[in-house]
Amino acid sequence: MLESLGSLTGSPWIYAVVALSVLLDVFLPVLPSGVLVITAATAAAAGSTTVAGAAGKVSQVPQEVPSLILLMLCAFTASVLGDLVAFRLGRRGGDRLGRAIARSRRLTTAQERLGSALGGGGGLLVVIARFAPAGRSVVSLGAGAAHRKVKEFLPWSALAGVAWTGYSAGLGYFGAQWLGSTWVGVALSVLALFAAGSLAAYVIRRPGAGGSPATA
């Protein structure tokens, strides 16, 4: 698997694959967009697409390595675009989506917190939810269904995209710098990404998540 990813990171197609994965994971949270960003950033830090296999053998893939800056730009742009698409769908879904949210106490509570946070000039919940499993979907669709204004949602979506992209790419890049471009370094970086997601989910479930305008 790592050898296949190594071949992909050595191809210009990596930018399209990362962008498409990040764009669509607002609707399909099971897509490994974070893992792809980490793997590509690891290759960028290594200076080559050398991949260490499970048996300890090292294979050299002759393609060029991805540009870390271009990779992050693609991931960030796709993140914001995906949020806006979900936001628009949530707005168009209107009453139907509202009824679906009303049937879930958790989704109703999340929507209420989001509405008060955005309306009060704060939107830290949008940033935190970007790291939580399916949190991006709930927040983007919920903001649209609540008929929030784009100018209230978009800046926080952009900040969330910057934070998530920087964290994911940073894990891959600095993980490779410290641990080398091996499956161990990639695995530890992925675990750190999952840990951030678990922490974000915990914070969202706490009463008062999203902060107040004074703290956001």
Residue 194 belongs to a domain: yes
Q: CA dist 150 to 28, 33, 119, 203, 207, Å? A: 23, 25, 12, 25, 26
- pLDDT at residue 166, rounded to an integer: 96
Is residue 211 in some structural domain? Answer: no
Quick one: pLDDT band at residue 157, thresholds 50, 70, 90? very high
Residue 58's DSSP bridge partners are 52
**Spatial separation of the C-alpha atoms in residues 147 and 107, rounded to whole Å:** 16
Structural domain that includes position 164? 2-205
Residue 158 lies in a domain: yes
- Top pLDDT among 20 and 211 is at 20
**Dihedral angle at the C-alpha atoms of 190, 191, 193, 194, nearest 10 degrees?**
120
Average the pLDDT over 150-177 and give the result: 92
pTM (predicted TM-score): 0.77
Count of beta carbons in the 10 Å neighbourhood of residue 3: 15
Q: Is residue 174 part of a domain?
A: yes
Q: Does 177 map to a domain?
A: yes
Where does the pLDDT of residue 51 fall: very low under 50, low under 70, confident under 90, or very high at 90 and above?
very low
What is the rounded average pLDDT of the residues 22-31?
A: 87
What is the pLDDT at residue 89? 87
Say if 210 falls within a structural domain: no
Q: Name the residue type at position 148.
A: R
User: Is residue 98 domain-resident?
Assistant: yes
Over residues 78-111, the pLDDT tens digits come to 999 999 999 998 888 756 665 665 666 656 665 5
The residue with greater pLDDT, 60 or 66, is: 66
Q: Which stretch of DSSP H or E encloses residue 77?
A: helix 68-102
Domain assignment present for residue 214? The answer is no
Would you say residue 145 has pLDDT above 50?
yes
Per the structure, the count of domains in the chain is 1
